[in-house]
Amino acid sequence: MSRPLDVAEQVSGPLPELSADEIEAAAKRISGIIEPTPLQRVERLSALSGANVYVKREDLTAVRSYKLRGAYNLIVQLTEAERAAGVVTASAGNHAQGVAYACRAMGITGRIYVPTTTPKQKRDRIRVHGGEFVQLLAVGDTYDAAAAAAADDVTRTGATMVPPFDDPRTAAGQGTIAAEILEQLGHAPDLVIVPVGGGGCLAGIGTYLRERSPATGILGVEPAGAASMTAALVAGGPVTLPEIDPFVDGAAVRRVGDLPYAAATRFGGRVVSHASLPLLTATESAGGAGAFRMLMVDEGAICTAMLALYQNEGIIAEPAGALAVAALASIRVPAGSTVVCLVSGGNNDVSRYGEVIERSLVHQGLKHYFLVDFPQEPGALRRFLDEVLGPDDDITLFEYVKRNNRETGAALVGIQLGEPDGLSPLLKRMGEAPIQCERLDPDSPAYRYLT
């Protein structure tokens, strides 16, 4: 499954510094097990943005994500004693697959902790990649809960921790992506867009670009519901978010790593909030030579990007894997510039596509929910259909909330519009109809139970 370990690769002593030299050394270490992933120009994205847009297909690795790079680079450097003690890790799913693959390849036993929210597809693939060498344990409902359990395991057993992002060996492995991009492209890209969860990939790619291609701009992208790097940069240090949206599971981390945060601060730059600045100018996006920016992207926009990649390019991206492409809709780049988007993973459970479609429709302004009080009399629903709904509108959900009032019956109604512009006319017709209608605000607590 892999080449035998070389004695020279068994490193002991202090951890190496994260640097371009160390990233190039990592590229040599992993070359026997990980082939370079394709860098593909995407005509659709190029036409939409006016730039030359490429996608780096990390979804095509053996474990369908870039995480194998860091996991293998770290484990291959363990001493005999560290390997004999076995390894432990925590992961939302992709790093776990990388660790499982490396354990089986090198004959090392491992225990892998994942949150209970990790999609079944990822859990099944962890077991396939690790076989008899790994034990999978589901703990808590977030990555951070799984990480706490893994840390406790290491304290109790003396096993060797394999951090998913907060270690220079992990980050160096992820940084090999940047080395491949420069080699495959043949010139420096103007902008590289990197998805950010714990920050290891950003640390590795950013470090390499800063040293080997300093004129290249870097844009880190986080899901709005789990923007831990943004919070760290605003606060002046890593902070623990009080709550996160676990939907973008591959990037849903409450607290970024200390090493990634330190690396990001060395890149310079600033945070750009999607709420306060929907579109970046050409100067802000590429930021001049070598600028670094952080951007938050709504989960619905991520879902829209996922579906577009699947329907147009046949790329199956998980939510975190579509983060970089989703960011393209929020930025402007100079015409003709070269932009590389990292498709970080393709481990998406097909059972999640219903929620993906729902979130995308809401994001595009095509799906809306209302509480409608229908008079309990014949023809009430027919009048609603005839007088309120537009010709291209469709009811996708109809459910009575309660029927203990003899005069009216409240119903939850989901309406999908033919066009986003159809909302204002719909609301106008509702206001004129002899039926009480209340629109559910997407930001309201009740709305969370619908999406």
pLDDT in tens, 354-411: 999 999 998 999 999 998 888 777 888 888 888 899 888 999 988 877 655 545 568 8
Whole-prediction pTM value? 0.87
Domains 87-158 and 365-449 share a fold: no
Q: Enter the tokens of residue 181.
A: 């991009």
Residues 6 or more apart whose CB falls under 8 angstroms from that of 319 comprise 223, 247, 248, 249, 250, 251, 299, 302, 303, 306, 348, 356
Q: At residue 277, does pLDDT exceed 70?
A: no
pLDDT of 3 strictly over 50: no
Average pLDDT over residues 284-289: 48
**Catalytic residue numbers, as ranges:** 67, 344
Length reported for the chain: 451
> What would the pLDDT profile of 28-66 be if each residue is shown by its tens digit?
999 989 999 999 999 999 999 999 999 999 999 999 999
The three-state (H, E, C) secondary structure of 55-101, written as one string = EEEHHHCCCCECHHHHHHHHHCCCCHHHHHCCEEEECCCHHHHHHHH
Rounded Cα distance, 60 and 64, in Å: 5
pLDDT at 436: 84
Whole-angstrom Cα distance, residue 10 to residue 7? 5
pLDDT single digits (tens) 182-205: 999 999 999 999 999 999 999 999
3-state secondary structure of 432: helix
For the ranges 9-23, 322-336, 365-379, the lowest mean pLDDT is seen at 9-23
CATH class, range 87-158: alpha beta
Which amino acid, residue 386? Answer: D
- pLDDT at position 10 over 50: no
Q: Which residues of 259-280 are buried (b: 16+ CB within 10 A; e: fewer)?
A: bbbebbeebebebbebeeeeeb
Instruction: Report the distance separating Cα 23 and Cα 182, nearest Å.
Output: 13
What pLDDT is recorded for position 387? 86
Q: Yes or no: say if 399 and 374 are a contact pair by the CB < 8 Å rule.
A: no
Q: Where are the domains of the chain?
A: 20-64+167-356, 87-158, 365-449
The CATH fold assigned to 20-64+167-356 is: Rossmann fold (3.40.50)
For tokens 């099944």, the residue is: 124
The answer to whether 299 and 248 are in contact (CB under 8 A) is yes
Q: Which class is domain 365-449?
A: alpha beta
At 1 the pLDDT is 38
Confidence of residue 4 (pLDDT cuts 50, 70, 90): very low
